[in-house]
Amino acid sequence: MKALQTEIYHHDSDVDVTHKINSIELDNWINHLNYIKKELKNLIALCGVDLSNKLNDESVVQKFKKKDAENDILLNTLHNYMNLRKSIIECEDTQCDMAYINEHESYRRGYLYHLEKYRKVKDEFFIKIQGQFSLLSKTSTS
């Protein structure tokens, strides 16, 4: 079984192009989730005891830790999915191709949902931090 080539050629069928684009997209998702993993590690470290005490909110750290665990699960799922996609080359009919395309759409929805939830947690954190800094600057200028 040879690996699916992601270079797009003029003679590729529309389905082949779709599979190649989906493979490129999947690789981008995995790279992005790896970046989020590093970012979460930094945010969790930033929310150490001192900051959690100043914010009077331990839930922010817990939410980041939960997102980190969810991110790991999704990363593992997408790595497994990437390995399964190697069988695309063996598809001999449209039904098989469509099964892969529909499966990819399902993973896309899951990935986008994960990003949306992660961004909400991160936005909540930054709003709290900005509020804390606003309070600090008001008390220091008083």
pLDDT (tens place) for every residue of the chain, 142 residues total: 234 567 888 998 899 899 999 999 999 999 999 999 999 999 998 887 666 666 666 688 899 999 999 999 999 999 999 999 989 989 899 999 999 999 999 999 999 999 999 999 999 988 888 876 665 555 555 5
Q: How far apart are CA 104 and CA 23, in angstroms?
A: 9
pLDDT at 140 (0 to 100):
56
Residue 11 DSSP one-character state: T
CA 82 to chain centre: 15
Mean pLDDT of the chain: 87
Q: How far apart are CA 121 and CA 85, in angstroms?
A: 32
Q: How far apart are CA 142 and CA 93, in angstroms?
A: 74
User: What b/e string do you get for 92-103 counting C-beta neighbours within 10 Å, with b at 16 or more?
Assistant: eeeeebeebeee
For the chain, the structural domain boundaries read 15-43+60-137
Q: How far apart are CA 108 and CA 115, in angstroms?
A: 11
pTM: 0.84
pLDDT at 137 (0 to 100):
57
